[in-house]
């Protein structure tokens, strides 16, 4: 038995959870916040037999899309008292970060 933890964009969470449910996987959804852009993320937990892990990861891969987003560049050089404008920088967001963990014991009560 494996526990799959996937950190995905809030925008991708409903399609991922829906597809996993259609394929018979139970999903637990946790709200989380990303560290880099402080944006809303969803962390999902899926328990699966070892041979089903590739199927879960494939669903996540297909449903999580990367996209470009303009964010303010707040790391501008300049001294105290110098007013500078934060020019937007385009970054890639989305996709998924996936962890697969061994489960020593599982009980459904």
Please name each of the domains of the chain with its CATH number. 2-75+84-102 (3.30.70.120)
Q: What is the pLDDT of residues 45-72, one digit of tens each?
A: 999 999 999 999 999 999 998 777 777 7
Question: Is residue 49 within 8 Å of 2, Cβ to Cβ?
Answer: yes
Select from 66, 14, 67 the least CA-distant residue to 44: 14
CA pair distance 108, 17, nearest whole angstrom: 20
Comparing 70 with 97, the larger pLDDT belongs to: 97
Q: What is the pLDDT of residue 15?
A: 95
Give per-residue pLDDT as tens, 10-44: 889 999 999 999 999 999 999 887 665 566 789 99
pTM of structure: 0.76
Nearest to 12 by CA among 35, 41, 39, 48: 41
- Whole-angstrom distance, CA of residue 93 vs CA of residue 31: 17
């Amino acid at each position: 038995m494996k526990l799959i933890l996937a950190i995905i964009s809030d925008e991708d969470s409903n399609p991922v959870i829906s597809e996993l449910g259609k394929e018979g996987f139970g999903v637990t959804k946790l709200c989380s916040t990303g560290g880099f852009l402080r944006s809303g993320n969803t962390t999902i937990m899926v328990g699966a037999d070892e041979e089903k892990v590739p199927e879960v990861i494939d669903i996540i891969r297909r449903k999580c899309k990367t996209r470009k987003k303009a964010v303010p560049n707040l790391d501008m050089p300049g001294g105290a008292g110098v007013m500078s404008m934060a020019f937007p920088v385009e970054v890639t967001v989305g996709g998924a970060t996936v962890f697969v963990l061994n489960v020593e014991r599982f009980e459904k009560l």
